């Protein structure tokens, strides 16, 4: 860890430990990946206006989120199947986040169950879900999250269908990974990853086990894509979820003031300005560019968060200065997990 001075150092270490198909899965975006690149470039286009000889002897990074004091405005964004990059997967992510007092938003597509993750965690947890067709399934997941002690729900609304990701298609990436003739050599030169892949439980969507014929990731993924995804979901579904959950409810995937206002009107307590890390709709605006409009529209009434392109402390400061309460990171925590588990 002493050799890691920037997120780029961590990213390089992760790439050394992972085969190309997994690196592409984590790093890739939709279609031409314009939005993926634009997310980071937007931060580079914002500069500070420093004022000197001001007393900065006492500095703090703490922030209050939904009434809870947190030591950092950096949270772990929901991202599925973390066991692809490390044998402990989300369990180590929860341990690492807990050591820093950071919120961990657990994905509904996690490779470990939401209960097992809660058992491993020592910090605050949010649970992320989608507005799938089955209200019975969603209600059961909400009840499980409540029973496991999750403090907030994070509803992702920007996946009416799954975006096309050319890197995965070119690399032959499947869930779970299948070692083909073409990928065998690449996998062979990453023995630590192969060992982690073979160690312990199979890679699957653990929160959904028991829903389809077969509990492997292929069967469950097919079930989600054919039976659960609901391209017709509307704001009334959010209102239904609001009635089901009495804790903080955050809507993720907001890019316009109009959608932010609709989310608040439907009962949301917070919004995440997000384009899904550039993984869904290529050509969507960078999150940072969309942030000021959303803050102006709802910032006095709700808590606004942002993800997409955050790579260093200066990026966090820029986002907070533009009105965000805190930021969420996705790829960076995957890179850290791959590089060195909970410590990473």
Q: Could you confirm whether 276 is annotated as catalytic?
A: yes
Going by C-beta distance under 8 Å and a sequence separation of 6 or more, which residues neighbour residue 286?
Answer: 35, 38, 39, 41, 42, 275, 308, 309
Q: How many residues does the chain have?
A: 344
DSSP summary character for residue 83 = G
Compute how many other C-beta atoms are within 10 angstroms of the C-beta atom of residue 61. 13
DSSP summary character for residue 263 = H
What phi, psi does 249 have (nearest 5°)? -125, 120
CA-closest candidate to residue 93, choices 120, 60, 130: 120
Q: What is the dihedral of CA 300, 301, 302, 305, to 10 degrees?
A: -30
What is the chain's percent helix, strand, coil content, to nearest 5? 45, 10, 45
Exactly one of 86, 190, 276, 301 is catalytic; which is it? 276
Q: What is the CA radius of gyration of the chain?
A: 19
Going by C-beta distance under 8 Å and a sequence separation of 6 or more, which residues neighbour residue 53?
Answer: none
Going by C-beta distance under 8 Å and a sequence separation of 6 or more, which residues neighbour residue 247?
Answer: 146, 150, 151, 152, 153
> What tokens appear for 170 in the block?
């070119």
The residues annotated as belonging to the active site are 276
């Amino acid at each position: 860890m002493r050799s890691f001075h920037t997120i780029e150092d961590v990213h390089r270490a992760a790439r050394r430990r992972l085969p190309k198909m997994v690196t592409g899965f984590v790093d890739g975006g939709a279609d031409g990946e314009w939005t993926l690149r634009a997310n980071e470039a937007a931060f580079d286009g914002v500069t500070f206006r420093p004022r000197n000889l001001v007393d900065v002897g006492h500095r703090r990074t703490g922030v209050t989120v939904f009434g809870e004091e947190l030591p950092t405005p950096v949270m772990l964004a929901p991202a599925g199947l973390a066991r692809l990059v490390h044998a402990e997967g989300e369990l180590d992510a929860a341990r690492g986040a807990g050591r820093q007092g950071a919120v961990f938003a657990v994905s509904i597509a996690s490779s470990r169950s939401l209960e097992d993750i809660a058992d491993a965690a020592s910090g605050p947890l949010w649970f992320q879900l989608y507005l799938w067709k089955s209200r019975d399934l969603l209600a059961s997941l909400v009840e499980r999250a409540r029973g496991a002690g999750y403090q907030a729900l994070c509803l992702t609304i920007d996946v009416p269908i799954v975006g096309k990701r050319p890197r995965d298609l070119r690399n032959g990436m499947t869930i779970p990974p299948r070692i083909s003739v073409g990928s065998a050599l690449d996998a062979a030169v990453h023995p630590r990853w192969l060992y982690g892949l073979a160690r312990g439980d199979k890679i699957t969507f653990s929160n959904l086990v028991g829903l389809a014929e077969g509990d492997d990731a292929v069967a469950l993924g097919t079930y989600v894509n054919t039976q659960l995804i609901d391209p017709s979901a509307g704001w009334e579904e959010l209102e239904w979820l609001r009635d089901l959950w009495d804790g903080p409810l955050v809507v993720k995937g907001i890019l316009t003031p109009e959608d932010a206002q609709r989310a608040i009107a439907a009962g949301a307590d917070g919004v995440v300005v997000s384009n899904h890390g550039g993984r869904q709709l290529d050509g969507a605006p960078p999150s940072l560019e969309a942030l000021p409009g959303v803050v102006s529209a709802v910032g006095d009434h709700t808590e606004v968060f942002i993800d997409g392109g955050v790579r260093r402390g200066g990026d966090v400061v820029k986002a907070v200065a533009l009105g965000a309460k805190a930021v969420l990171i996705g790829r960076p925590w995957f890179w850290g997990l791959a590089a060195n588990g909970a410590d990473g």
